Structure 1
Amino acid sequence: MKTIALKIIFSVLVVSSIISAQNITNTLGTNGSFKIKDGTTDYLNLDQTTGNISLLRNIEIGGVINSTSTRGVITKNGQRFIHNYQAPGTLGYNTFIGVASGNFTLSGSGGASSYNTSVGYQSLSSLTTGSQNSSFGAFSLAINNSGNNNSAFGYSSMFNNNTGSDNSSFGRYSLYNNTGGNNNSAFGFQSLNQNSIGNNNSAFGSSSLFMNTGNNNSAFGYGALTNNTADDNSAFGYRSLFVNTTGIWNSSFGSSALSFNSTGSGNSAFGFFSLYNNNTGFQNAAFGSLSLRQNTTGANNSAFGHSALYNNSIGSGNSAFGSLALSSNTSDYNSAFGFSALYTNTNGYSNSAFGWNALRNSNGIGNTAVGTEALFTKTAGDQNTSIGYFSGYNITTGSNNITIGYNAQVPNNAGSNQVRIGDVSINYAGIQVAWTITSDRRWKENIQPLNLGLNFISELNPVSYTRTNDESHKNEFGLIAQEIEEVLDEYGIENTGMLTKTEEGMYELRYNDLLAPMIKAIQELKLENDKLRSELESLTGLKEELVEIKNGIAQLIVHQTIKDETGRFSTLNQKMSEE
């Protein structure tokens, strides 16, 4: 200001010199001053002691000032350019720089309409009582009237703010339509552009929270929460929660995470394109790139890992942990833990898989697999349970099968109701008490007398042997399944549970089925024994009778009077004595 005044004085003196052709030279004395005044008013004062130049009103550059009631204004071409207008009775301390920046209609008292700073064309141009506002950029805070403690940086930033306070905006058109919203922070082109009365929102990134009218939202990234009108959402990443309108309590982190969510609430997405297509689904949690990507209406799902539950669209109540776990799922209530666990499951529900590739191909219901590639080949069938690495790997379509242990496989891969514990390398199986086998009549039908007995048992060939997988070569005792098959064929017995042939052609024998033929054989032996005993008892009785007869005859001979008329009795007596 001092420099400008000096230039003006110098110009006046030069012009006067040219016009009047005279020199004006004046040396100020100590504590002296140079003044331009009329009879009573000092218009310009140059003080020798301080070196200050004082102006009564304004400095005009290239035009005529448009007001005579203001003080401390620099104008350019008739428009206010720099001023610090202070309303009467207020503290002031305002600074307005820029054509039409600030105005001369400030009002209030004390701290009202004070401590404002604006730089830019028409910035803070409608201010009346607002205080402690800072604006930088043409039209920034242009409509602000009574709002306080706002900071705007950028062309038309917070343009329509009227009564809103404690807002911060950085970027062209940021918080453009905010009128009465408070405690909002916007950084980026058009961030929080349509927010009018929403409070406590934070937006960082071009067009983030563009359509917002809600409260307590946080957005970071281009297009994050662009269409939001609801409350309590958080979005971090390019176009995350982009379409969200009325959904609440959503959290997204990652490029396009929850991008198409519109009304779904309570969702959490972390990772590139996680929950990308979710629309109305609620209370889903996705962690990992492309996790739950295609979910639209499914609810209460949890996915952790790249592409986990990727294609789940309408399924609900699923939990997936691991890359590609439940990737193809569209159904409900499945749980998968491990890479590609339940990978191709689409319509199957209530399945549980734990382990790499466990239940990878299943579409059944109520299956449980624990272990790497357990129930790997399963495509259909229900209520199967496999525990152990590779356990039940070959089961395809059967139901209610149970396999426990490494590589435990049932004999019929498409069959049902089979149990297998351990693989072929097991050489010991122990249990504290004996197995209990179900035997209730109500569980049986077609009950017929058994025709396999002593003859059948007699044809069996008991042997001793050692197993090929037993390194200790312990002797075992038993039967050879192929030999039993030959004997059964002789008796016309087919389709028996005693013998099982696996799909690999290996025979298995159910030894407890031999109990019935053994009992039958014992019964037959008893019948024969009873018959022999009866016959023996009969023979013993005959022998006793013969002895009695013999003794009776001997006694008869001793006591009988011998008549030897013809000599016949003597001869008889002699013969009997010889015997």
Structure 2
Amino acid sequence: MKITTSLVLAVLYLVCVGPLAKVEAVSPPPDGDYPGGNTAEGRDALFSLTTGSYNTALGWNSLASDREGKFNAAVGAGTLVFNVADNNTATGAGALLNNTTGKENTANGAFALFSNTDGDFNTAIGNGALQNNTTGNTNTVVGDAALSINTTGVNNTAIGSDALQGNLTGNGNVALGAGAGILITQGNNNIDIGNLVGVTGDSAAIRIGNVQTKTFIAGISGVPVTGTAVVVDGSGQLGVAPCSKRFKEEIKPMDSESETILALKPVTFHYKKEIDPKSAAQFGLVAEEVEKVNPDLVVRDQRGKPYTVRYEA
């Protein structure tokens, strides 16, 4: 989905404002070098400047409203037209066109940060990136139409074409990959990595990758650690297996099937210090002892040796 609103507005702006353009108040000196370290080339570029300094405006109406702003750079027709703030950089037609008091923004691409008015510390690289942002702050965007309909969301990072494109007011989201997190609208603190569209109502969720047939993560298999076991359900969600009856139903005795379990011998132990430096006291089962009772209850490592105990039926 590409946003065309900015293009329509830009055309209307050109039609309405173009015929009303005034004759420049000061004839530009050679190479457009004005006092105060300002440089302007193009019709009405830096037209309203009074005490502003070290601004660069190249293109029709670039920085046209700037009076006292400083250290701004506008390259392209209609860049930073209404800006009166400092330290903004806009490259590309219509980039940061509507910015007024927003400061320290960087927009590189046609209509990037087009609607921004008061938002600060945003970085938008790509055609239409952060196009509809108005007051959102500290967003970082790289990619065509990424975060393009964001209005007030803050602290978002979107890298990839259309990444987080559907976000309106969500904060603290991270999306990496083309279309990553595109369905998130108002959720906060999500992380979407890969060409994964995300889920509309997500908040504080981590989603990595599309539907796959294999996943390999180095540094896990064969590396013993202590703590609660982490499991993966059928949908790919990670978590821990709860034991409280609050999470269980259809509870009934195992009858004769419990004989194998009753034959097991729980023990107390300490993990070796290279595994658990604190060497806290533990209780549980020893895989080699469980193997003697029922080998099917044991999970083996790559060398076929007992590694851990299987608890699922």
SS of structure 1 residue aligned to 2:172: coil
* Residues 240 and 254 in structure 1, CA contact (< 8 A), matched pair in contact too: yes
Aligned to 1:378: 199
Aligned to 1:546: none
Per-residue CA distance 1:325-377 (angstroms, 9 max, x = gap):
110112100011110000010110101111100011212111111212x2x04
Task: Determine whether 1:259 maps to 2:81.
Answer: yes
Aligned to 1:193: 26
SS of structure 2 residue aligned to 1:386: strand
Task: Determine whether 1:217 maps to 2:38.
Answer: yes
SS of structure 1 residue aligned to 2:207: strand
SS of structure 2 residue aligned to 1:215: helix
- Could you say if the C-alpha distance between residues 457 and 428 of structure 1 is closer, same or farther in structure 2, counting changes exceeding 3 Å? farther
* Residues 201 and 218 in structure 1, CA contact (< 8 A), matched pair in contact too: no
* Residues 79 and 96 in structure 2, CA contact (< 8 A), matched pair in contact too: yes
Task: Determine whether 1:454 maps to 2:255.
Answer: yes
CA–CA separation in structure 2 for the residues paired with 1:294 and 1:202: 31
* Residues 192 and 198 in structure 2, CA contact (< 8 A), matched pair in contact too: no
Task: Determine whether 1:271 maps to 2:271.
Answer: no
- The 5 Å alignment of 1:396-475 reads 407=211, 423=212, 425-426=213-214, 431-433=221-223, 436-437=227-228, 444=244, 446=246, 451-455=252-256
Higher relative contact order (CA 8 A, sep 6+): 2
Which of 20, 27, 32 is the equivalent residue of 1:203?
Answer: 32
- Could you say if the C-alpha distance between residues 447 and 220 of structure 1 is closer, same or farther in structure 2, counting changes exceeding 3 Å? closer
- Could you say if the C-alpha distance between residues 201 and 190 of structure 1 is closer, same or farther in structure 2, counting changes exceeding 3 Å? farther
* Residues 288 and 305 in structure 1, CA contact (< 8 A), matched pair in contact too: yes
- The 5 Å alignment of 1:141-290 reads 190-191=23-24, 193=26, 203=32, 215-229=36-50, 230-261=52-83, 263-290=84-111
- The 5 Å alignment of 1:16-55 reads none
CA–CA separation in structure 1 for the residues paired with 2:45 and 2:85: 16
CA–CA separation in structure 2 for the residues paired with 1:386 and 1:457: 39
Per-residue CA distance 1:529-555 (angstroms, 9 max, x = gap):
xxxxxxxxxxxxxxxxxxxxxxxxxxx
Alpha-carbon deviation of 1:434? 5.9
Alpha-carbon deviation of 1:381? 2.0
- Could you say if the C-alpha distance between residues 325 and 310 of structure 1 is closer, same or farther in structure 2, counting changes exceeding 3 Å? same
Aligned to 2:172: 350
Alpha-carbon deviation of 1:244? 1.1
Which of 289, 298, 302 is the equivalent residue of 2:119?
Answer: 298
CA–CA separation in structure 2 for the residues paired with 1:332 and 1:278: 17
* Residues 191 and 203 in structure 1, CA contact (< 8 A), matched pair in contact too: no
SS of structure 1 residue aligned to 2:57: strand
CA–CA separation in structure 2 for the residues paired with 1:355 and 1:193: 48
Q: Rg bigger for which structure?
A: 1
CA–CA separation in structure 1 for the residues paired with 2:161 and 2:167: 14
- Could you say if the C-alpha distance between residues 190 and 215 of structure 1 is closer, same or farther in structure 2, counting changes exceeding 3 Å? farther
User: What letter is aligned with 1:355?
Assistant: G
Alpha-carbon deviation of 1:454? 2.6
Identity %: 29
* Residues 304 and 322 in structure 1, CA contact (< 8 A), matched pair in contact too: yes
Aligned to 1:312: 133
CA–CA separation in structure 1 for the residues paired with 2:162 and 2:99: 22
User: What letter is aligned with 1:347?
Assistant: T
Number of residues of Structure 1 aligned to a counterpart in Structure 2? 227
- Could you say if the C-alpha distance between residues 277 and 513 of structure 1 is closer, same or farther in structure 2, counting changes exceeding 3 Å? same
Structure 2: runs of 5 or more not aligned: 1-21, 231-239, 260-295, 298-309
CA–CA separation in structure 1 for the residues paired with 2:90 and 2:72: 8
Normalising by structure 2, report the TM-score.
0.64
CA–CA separation in structure 2 for the residues paired with 1:428 and 1:300: 38
CA–CA separation in structure 1 for the residues paired with 2:165 and 2:92: 20
Aligned to 1:95: none
CA–CA separation in structure 1 for the residues paired with 2:45 and 2:108: 18
Task: Determine whether 1:368 maps to 2:201.
Answer: no
Per-residue CA distance 1:216-244 (angstroms, 9 max, x = gap):
11111111111122111111111111111
Aligned to 1:561: none
User: What letter is aligned with 1:512?
Assistant: Y
Per-residue CA distance 1:298-317 (angstroms, 9 max, x = gap):
00000000000000010000
RMSD: 3.4
Per-residue CA distance 1:365-418 (angstroms, 9 max, x = gap):
11111212x2x0421221111222x2xxxxxxxxxxxxxxxx1xxxxxxxxxxx
- Could you say if the C-alpha distance between residues 248 and 447 of structure 1 is closer, same or farther in structure 2, counting changes exceeding 3 Å? closer
Aligned to 2:311: 512
SS of structure 1 residue aligned to 2:311: helix
Aligned to 2:6: none
- Could you say if the C-alpha distance between residues 305 and 355 of structure 1 is closer, same or farther in structure 2, counting changes exceeding 3 Å? same
Alpha-carbon deviation of 1:451? 3.4
CA–CA separation in structure 1 for the residues paired with 2:79 and 2:176: 27
Structure 1: runs of 5 or more not aligned: 1-188, 391-406, 408-422, 459-476, 479-510, 515-579
Normalising by structure 1, report the TM-score.
0.36
CA–CA separation in structure 1 for the residues paired with 2:171 and 2:119: 14
CA–CA separation in structure 2 for the residues paired with 1:443 and 1:234: 66
Alpha-carbon deviation of 1:445? 6.7
Per-residue CA distance 1:170-220 (angstroms, 9 max, x = gap):
xxxxxxxxxxxxxxxxxxx9545299xxxx99638xxxx8xxxx6211111
CA–CA separation in structure 2 for the residues paired with 1:428 and 1:218: 55
SS of structure 2 residue aligned to 1:336: strand
Aligned to 1:12: none
Q: Segments of 4+ in structure 1 off by > 6 A?
A: 427-430
CA–CA separation in structure 2 for the residues paired with 1:323 and 1:362: 17
CA–CA separation in structure 1 for the residues paired with 2:253 and 2:59: 78
User: What letter is aligned with 2:192?
Assistant: A
* Residues 201 and 217 in structure 1, CA contact (< 8 A), matched pair in contact too: no
* Residues 113 and 128 in structure 2, CA contact (< 8 A), matched pair in contact too: yes
